[in-house]
């Protein structure tokens, strides 16, 4: 790797742990983190907080420096939608790889604010692509989209192949039909399309990491010093289902399963997510496709199965409620992750380990969660 690494969304749940891991992996490189810090404001405006208190970035950087005796993370508060800022940053810091994690990430929030979600997410990605084209087309662009862009099709899900269980048409580097059920997922579908287009039109190496649901609160670095914690949202808008179940369990609140609970998705721990992203940075793409989509997940679980895992550890009830979302509650779901298995690190964490660890961490913040338990559900 010739230059430094830019991480967008550096103040986010995944962004901060990725910055730390990259800094430790490449001590001779500068890790440039960028974030607007809007996520903090959005969650606050929704009447909630991160279950785990998240100090300002300046403080976390100081703790990181003291803990690991390194000072190679540089943090900038700014917006990647600014073309001039991005071009300047790529040149000023000699960027050779971008890990793009910045987005408005909430499906429910996107249904309230569709124009903002599309503008924010798609313009941010497009700004990065055009800046790379102008400054240095050799810069590698890695983005985390989401496996949610597939929706729940009635055929097997491959990274870039279209088919059914009995018929498969291989179309290298082509996009499968996307049927994600929110404006957030649609924004990420178009991001995937832009990554593919940028690789074909401008020769930019793009890696599309389609993440499953990220579960857990801990990484190797956070275990060294809990002041390095990343955020853990549990509210209706920004708390993924796994987070909400764990937070509900800690305060003795029934686990609220939407509908029949048959909604099935791929899951992966936070630690494994960080490991996969850093592995993608290390990936030698010279012999690979210019556009490389990779499904990132360990195993698939239904909502009911996740609730049963959490309930089994915490001893709380499961409550089936009317589904506030428009989605299939029972469906076929069979995604492949053969590229992750063959090209990246092997995931290590089981759901059992992740649930046990998460519940243990959240016990320390039981009062903080209880004070905001009204944010678990929103009646609209």
pLDDT of residue 161: 56
Q: How confident is the model at residue 380 (pLDDT cuts 50, 70, 90)?
A: low
Q: Taking residues 151-166, what's their average pLDDT?
A: 72
Overall domain count for the chain:
1
Q: Taking residues 129-151, what's their average pLDDT?
A: 97
Is 188 annotated as catalytic?
Answer: yes
Helix (H, G, I), strand (E, B) or coil at 353: helix
pLDDT of residue 326: 73
List the catalytic residue out of 146, 206, 230, 298.
Answer: 146
CA distance 64 to 73: 9
Average predicted confidence (pLDDT) for the chain? 93
Give yes or no for residue 125 having a pLDDT over 90: yes
In a domain, 272, yes or no: yes
Give yes or no for residue 1 having a pLDDT over 90: no
In a domain, 306, yes or no: no
- pTM of the prediction? 0.95
Is 184 annotated as catalytic?
Answer: yes
Cα 366 versus chain centre, distance: 25
In a domain, 253, yes or no: no
Q: Taking residues 56-72, what's their average pLDDT?
A: 97
Give yes or no for residue 167 having a pLDDT over 70: no
List the catalytic residue out of 184, 267, 301, 309.
Answer: 184
Domain that holds residue 338: 4-230+268-297+333-348
Give yes or no for residue 164 having a pLDDT over 70: no
* 261-298: pLDDT as tens digits: 999 999 999 999 999 999 999 998 776 778 999 999 99
In a domain, 135, yes or no: yes
Give yes or no for residue 163 having a pLDDT over 50: no
In a domain, 114, yes or no: yes
Q: Taking residues 212-217, what's their average pLDDT?
A: 98
pLDDT of residue 165: 43
In a domain, 259, yes or no: no
To the nearest 10 degrees (0 to 180), the angle between helices 183-202 and 114-135 is: 20
Question: β-strand 95-100 against 140-144: which pairing, if any?
Answer: parallel
In a domain, 364, yes or no: no
Q: Taking residues 9-32, what's their average pLDDT?
A: 98
* 17-26: pLDDT as tens digits: 999 999 999 9
Cα 216 versus chain centre, distance: 12
List the catalytic residue out of 29, 140, 188, 304.
Answer: 188
Q: Taking residues 356-380, what's their average pLDDT?
A: 93
Residue 115's CATH number: 3.40.50.720
In a domain, 205, yes or no: yes
């Amino acid at each position: 790797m010739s230059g430094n690494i830019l991480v967008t969304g550096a103040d986010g749940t995944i962004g901060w742990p990725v910055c730390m891991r990259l800094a430790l992996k490449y001590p001779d490189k500068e890790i440039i983190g960028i974030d607007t810090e809007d996520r903090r404001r959005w969650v606050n405006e929704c009447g909630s907080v991160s279950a785990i208190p998240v100090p300002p970035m300046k403080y976390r950087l100081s703790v990181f420096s003291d803990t690991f005796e390194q000072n190679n993370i540089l943090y900038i508060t700014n917006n990647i939608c600014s073309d001039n800022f991005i071009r300047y940053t790529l040149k000023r810091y000699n960027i050779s790889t971008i890990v793009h994690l910045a987005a408005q990430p909430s499906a429910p929030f996107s249904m309230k604010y569709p124009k903002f979600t599309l503008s924010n997410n798609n313009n941010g990605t497009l700004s990065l692509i055009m800046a790379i084209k102008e400054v240095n087309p050799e810069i590698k662009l890695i983005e985390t989209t989401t496996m949610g862009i597939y929706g729940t099709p009635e055929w097997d899900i491959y990274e870039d192949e279209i088919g059914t269980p009995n018929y498969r048409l291989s179309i290298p580097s082509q996009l499968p039909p996307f049927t994600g059920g929110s404006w957030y997922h649609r924004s990420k579908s178009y991001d995937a399309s832009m990554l593919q287009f940028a690789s074909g039109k401008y020769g930019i190496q793009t890696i599309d990491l389609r993440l499953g649901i990220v579960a857990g609160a801990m990484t190797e670095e956070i275990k060294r010093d809990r002041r390095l914690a990343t955020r853990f949202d549990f509210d209706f808008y920004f708390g993924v289902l796994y987070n909400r179940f764990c937070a509900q369990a800690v305060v003795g609140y029934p686990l609220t399963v939407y509908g029949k609970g048959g909604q099935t998705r791929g899951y992966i721990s936070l630690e494994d997510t960080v490991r996969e992203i850093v592995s993608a940075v290390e990936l030698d793409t010279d012999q690979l496709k210019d556009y490389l989509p990779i499904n990132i997940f360990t195993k698939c679980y239904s909502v009911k199965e996740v609730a049963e895992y959490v309930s089994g550890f915490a001893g709380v009830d499961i409550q089936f409620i009317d589904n506030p979302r428009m989605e299939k509650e029972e469906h076929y779901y069979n995604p492949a992750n053969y590229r992750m298995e063959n090209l990246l690190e092997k995931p290590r964490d089981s759901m059992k380990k992740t649930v046990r660890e998460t519940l243990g961490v959240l016990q320390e913040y039981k009062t903080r969660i209880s004070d905001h338990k009204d944010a678990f559900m929103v009646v609209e």
